[in-house]
Amino acid sequence: MSKSPTPKGTPVQRSPSDGVPEGLQSPQHSTPVSGPQQKKRISSLLQSPSFREELDLLIQEQMKKGGSSSNLWALRQLADFMASHGSPATLPVSPSNMMMVTSINDLHGWEPGSLVKGERLMRCKLASTHRLFDLYGWAQISQTLLTLRVSKEQEHFLVLPEGLAYSEVTGSSLVKVNLLGEVVEKGSTNLQVGTDKFSLHSAIYSARPDVRCLLHLHTPATAAVSAMKSGLLPLSHEALLVGDVAYYDYNGVMGEEEDRMELQKSLGPTCKVLVLRNHGILALGESVEEAFYTIFHIQAACQIQVTALCSSGGEHNLIMLDRAIHKPNPTGTVSWAGSTFGPLHKSRTGEHEFEALMRTLDNLWLKTEEVTQAGSTAIKIENPNQFVPLFTNPQEVIETRNKVNLSSAPLFLLNTVP
Could you tell me which of 210, 215, 203, 300 has the C-alpha nearest to residue 258? 203
389 band by pLDDT with thresholds 50, 70 and 90: very low
Number of neighbouring beta carbons within 10 Å of residue 298: 28
Give per-residue pLDDT as tens, 224-271: 999 999 999 999 989 998 889 999 998 877 878 888 899 989 999 999
| Alpha carbon distance 361, 356 (integer Å) | 9
Alpha-carbon distances of 198 from 205, 276, 311, rounded to whole Å: 10, 15, 38
Q: pLDDT tens across 273-285, in order?
A: 999 999 999 999 9
Whole-angstrom distance, CA of residue 352 vs CA of residue 122: 17
Residue 205 has pLDDT above 70, yes or no: yes
pLDDT of residue 97: 37
Looking at the DSSP bridge assignments, the partners of residue 247 are: 275
Higher pLDDT among residues 405 and 21, named by residue: 405
Residues listed for the chain: 418
For the chain, helix, strand, coil in percent to 5 are: 40, 10, 50
Please tell me the class of the 119-372 domain: alpha beta
Q: How confident is the model at residue 405 (pLDDT cuts 50, 70, 90)?
A: low
What residue ranges do the domains of the chain occupy?
48-85, 119-372
- What is the percentage of the chain residues whose pLDDT exceeds 90? 32
Quick check: pTM over 0.85?
no
The answer to whether the beta carbons of residues 162 and 194 sit under 8 Å apart is yes
pLDDT of residue 306: 95
The better pLDDT of the pair 211, 97 is held by 211
Give the range among 62-71, 120-129, 164-173, 345-354 with minimum mean pLDDT.
Answer: 62-71
Per-residue pLDDT at 71:
58
In the predicted model, what is the mean pLDDT of the chain? Answer: 74
Cα angle, residue 348 at apex, residues 305 and 172 outer, rounded to 5°: 90
Which range has the top average pLDDT, 48-57, 91-100, 310-319?
310-319
**Residues 94-140: tens digit of each pLDDT:** 444 344 446 788 777 666 566 788 898 999 999 999 999 999 999 98
Rounded Cα distance, 181 and 194, in Å: 8
Q: What is the pLDDT of residue 146?
A: 95
